[in-house]
Amino acid sequence: MSQAPLAKPKPKSQPQGTDLPELLAQSILRLPQLVRIHQPNNKIFKENLILFIDTLNALWNIQNGQIDIRLHRGRLYINKERIAFSPALLVTSTKLMEFFESRRIFGFGFRPKEDLDAEEVVEFIQIVNASQNHEKPGVFLSEALKDDWVKPILDDDFKIAYLFTDEMASEGAPGRPLVWNSTPSEEGGKARRAYSRAMSEFSKLNDSINSAKGLVNFSKSRRVVQDLAESLFQNENILLSLSTIRDYDDYTCSHCVNVAILSMCLGRRLGLSKMEVATLGLGGLFHDLGKVDIPIELIRKPGKFTEVEYEEIKKHPLNSVCRILSLNADNAFKSKLFLPPFEHHININHSGYPATDLKAPVSLFGRIVAITDLYDALTSSRSYRPVPISPDKALEIMVKKSGSEIDALLLKVFINMVGIYPVGTLLVLNTKEVVMVADTPPNAEAGRPRAYILEREEETLKKGELIDLAEKNAKGQFARKVLYCFHPTEFGLVPTDILL
Q: Is 373 in the site for Fe ion (CB under 5 A)?
A: yes
Check if the beta carbon of residue 218 is closer than 8 Å to that of residue 327: yes
Q: How far apart are CA 41 and CA 47, in angstroms?
A: 10
Strand 327-328 versus strand 216-217 pairing type: parallel
Nearer to Fe ion, 138 or 341 (CB): 341
Instruction: Give the up-direction half-sphere exposure of residue 260: CA atoms within 13 A in the CB hemisphere.
Output: 31
Q: Count the residues in the chain.
A: 500
Min CB(293)–Fe ion separation in Å: 13
Nearer to Fe ion, 22 or 373 (CB): 373
Choose the binding region for Fe ion from 40-48, 86-94, 99-107, 371-379 (rule: CB under 5 A): 371-379
Min CB(288)–Fe ion separation in Å: 4
Min CB(259)–Fe ion separation in Å: 6
Min CB(231)–Fe ion separation in Å: 22
Choose the binding region for Fe ion from 38-46, 71-79, 367-375, 420-428 (rule: CB under 5 A): 367-375
Nearer to Fe ion, 1 or 397 (CB): 397
Min CB(380)–Fe ion separation in Å: 10
Other Cβ atoms less than 10 A from the Cβ of 172: the count is 17
Nearer to Fe ion, 373 or 497 (CB): 373
Min CB(372)–Fe ion separation in Å: 9
Tell me, what amino acid is at 214? Answer: G
For residue 360, what are the contacts with CB-CB under 8 A and spacing of at least 6? none
Q: How far apart are CA 35 and CA 158, in angstroms?
A: 32
Min CB(295)–Fe ion separation in Å: 16
For residue 86, what are the contacts with CB-CB under 8 A and spacing of at least 6? 22
Min CB(319)–Fe ion separation in Å: 10
Q: Is 343 in the site for Fe ion (CB under 5 A)?
A: no
Nearer to Fe ion, 163 or 289 (CB): 289
Nearer to Fe ion, 238 or 262 (CB): 262
Residues in 279-298 at the binding interface with Fe ion, rule: CB under 5 A: 288
Q: Is 388 left (phi over 0), alpha (psi -120 to 50) or beta?
A: beta
Tell me, what amino acid is at 189? Answer: G
Check if the beta carbon of residue 258 is closer than 8 Å to that of residue 202: no
Min CB(253)–Fe ion separation in Å: 12
Q: Is 433 in the site for Fe ion (CB under 5 A)?
A: no
Please say whether the dihedral angle defined by the alpha carbons of residues 14, 18, 19 and 25, taken in this order, is positive or negative: positive
Q: Is 458 left (phi over 0), alpha (psi -120 to 50) or beta?
A: left
Instruction: Give the up-direction half-sphere exposure of residue 292: CA atoms within 13 A in the CB hemisphere.
Output: 23
Nearer to Fe ion, 19 or 288 (CB): 288
Choose the binding region for Fe ion from 155-163, 327-335, 372-380, 477-485 (rule: CB under 5 A): 372-380
Nearer to Fe ion, 49 or 260 (CB): 260
Check if the beta carbon of residue 375 is closer than 8 Å to that of residue 414: yes
How far from 313 is each of 59, 323, 376, 421, CA to CA, in Å? 22, 16, 18, 32
Nearer to Fe ion, 294 or 444 (CB): 294
Choose the binding region for Fe ion from 38-46, 335-343, 366-374, 450-458 (rule: CB under 5 A): 366-374
Task: Say what the alpha-carbon torsion angle 197, 198, 200, 206 is, to the nearest 10 degrees.
Answer: 160
Size of the site for Fe ion (CB under 5 A): 2
Check if the beta carbon of residue 376 is closer than 8 Å to that of residue 243: yes
Nearer to Fe ion, 172 or 354 (CB): 354
Min CB(261)–Fe ion separation in Å: 13
Strand 179-180 versus strand 460-468 pairing type: parallel
- Per CB under 5 A, residues contacting Fe ion are 288, 373
